[in-house]
Amino acid sequence: MPVGEKLSIIIPSYNEQDNIARTFHTICEILNSNHIPFEIIFVDDGSKDLTYARIQELSSAHTEAKGISFSRNFGKEAAIFAGLEVAQGACCLIMDCDLQHPASLIPEMYRLWKEGFEVIEGVKSSRGKENPLHTFCARTFYRIISKVTAIDMSQASDFKLLDRKAVDALLIMPERAPFFRALSSWVGFKTATIPFEVQDREIGASKWSLWSLTKYAIRNITSFSSAPLQLISLLGWIMFLASIVLGVQSLYRYFTGTALEGFTTVILLQLVIGSVLMISLGFIGHYISRIYDEIKARPRYIISKRCGC
Ligand code: UDP
Ligand code: MG
């Protein structure tokens, strides 16, 4: 089959033992009936179950099935980049292992690619079943990230088809903590969008907790923007203005002999200033830790096993 037409499907998989074969056969059926040449690369992100064994079984029975396995859990972003690195196709599609991204849309995305589009983005027309707190946090996060990246990310997902040019542009980025769904828009190229409904996860459970989502949000906002640092300066100026007003008032009261005892005020001021300082230090500390991570230049992931590639 001509590599020039080949579609590489990259599937990050973490503890998905019961989804691997099902996902593979679902995709195969759709692509074979549409005569699309393809390979499917499962990236086992350090799973603790039989995910990699299932991938190996598939790989020994089907030439289209390939797999790599990380030495430990490095996260979904790392898995996506590892998949992009080993993919041989002329275009690459990223999708989840739980089929929450509808495989039935792949032929349409592939057709758009053949028409000349270089980035085909799946955008969520609904978020599927989710608890309201999760939806609220996700909305807030995407509102912030859309503002700082100047790219509308409100409905963004990782379900994307990228032309080789876009893949190569992503792969030369040296960032240690890449944010795939924003970077793949940031690289530009001729883009088409395709709406999809997030399907329900039928097998297994979501890997995201509120804590891991919070970390993910903070990491990605700080990797795209230094606005929180500017916010600290703004806060400083606001407090400076407040201090002038309060200072003038206090001096006036002191010289007119109406100064209050002042203990409560002093304690409150100390607490407010202390908190603002500590939070600001936390912001700065976070950026320093990001620089520290980048400067060490450790690999994004370590591959321990591979099959079929
Ligand atoms: N995933 C991964 N590494 C992780 C967490 C998740 O590769 O550390 C994969 C997971 O196997 C799935 C995809 O990323 O294929 C999306 O994960 P999940 O379904 O848990 O997220 P949700 O759909 O709830 O956002
Ligand atoms: Mg899912």
pLDDT digits 0-9 by tens, 68-108: 999 999 989 999 999 999 999 999 999 999 989 999 999 99
Confidence bin at 172 (pLDDT 50/70/90): very high
pLDDT at 291 over 70: yes
User: 208 C-alpha to center of ligand 2: Å?
Assistant: 9
Query: CB under 8 Å, gap of 24 or more: what pairs does 270-274 form?
Result: 273/239
Confidence bin at 3 (pLDDT 50/70/90): low
Which range (229-233, 253-257, 261-265, 283-287) has the least confidence? 261-265
Confidence (pLDDT) at 85: 95
Confidence bin at 4 (pLDDT 50/70/90): confident
User: 238 C-alpha to center of ligand 1: Å?
Assistant: 42
CA distance 147 to 182: 12
The residue nearest atom 21 of ligand 1, judged by CA position, is: 206
Confidence (pLDDT) at 194: 92
pLDDT at 126 over 80: no
For ligand 1, residues with CB inside 6 Å are 12-14, 16, 45, 73, 75-76, 79, 96-98, 100, 201, 206-208
Confidence bin at 129 (pLDDT 50/70/90): low
The residue nearest atom 3 of ligand 1, judged by CA position, is: 76
Mutate to test the pocket of ligand 1, among 10, 11, 14 (most ligand atoms within 8 A of CB): 14
Closest ligand 1 atom to Cα of 98: 15
Mutate to test the pocket of ligand 1, among 76, 134, 142 (most ligand atoms within 8 A of CB): 76
Burial of 10 (0-12, 13-18, 19+ CB in 10 A): buried
Confidence (pLDDT) at 182: 83
More confident residue, 11 or 4: 11
The residue nearest atom 18 of ligand 1, judged by CA position, is: 206
- Tell me the average pLDDT of the chain: 88
Average pLDDT over residues 236-241: 92
Q: Which helix (H) or strand (E) holds 303?
A: strand 303-307
The residue nearest atom 13 of ligand 1, judged by CA position, is: 96
User: 136 C-alpha to center of ligand 2: Å?
Assistant: 18
Closest ligand 1 atom to Cα of 96: 15
More confident residue, 53 or 128: 53
pLDDT > 70 in the chain, percent: 96
Confidence (pLDDT) at 127: 65
pLDDT at 1 over 50: no
Return the closest-CA partner of residue 167 out of 149, 192, 187, 151.
187
Return the closest-CA partner of residue 100 out of 209, 17, 12.
12
| The dihedral sign for the CA sequence 76, 80, 85, 87 | positive
Number of other CB atoms surrounding residue 243 within 10 Å: 13
Give the ligand whose atoms come closest to the C-alpha of residue 79: 1
Average pLDDT over residues 133-151: 77
User: 237 C-alpha to center of ligand 2: Å?
Assistant: 44
Closest ligand 1 atom to Cα of 206: 20
> Highest mean pLDDT: which of 9-18, 125-134, 139-148?
9-18
pLDDT > 90 in the chain, percent: 54
Report residue 68 as tokens: 């790599």
The residue nearest atom 2 of ligand 1, judged by CA position, is: 76
User: 77 C-alpha to center of ligand 1: Å?
Assistant: 10
Average pLDDT over residues 132-160: 78
User: 97 C-alpha to center of ligand 1: Å?
Assistant: 7
pLDDT at 2 over 50: no
Confidence (pLDDT) at 149: 67
Average pLDDT over residues 268-281: 90
Average pLDDT over residues 182-205: 85
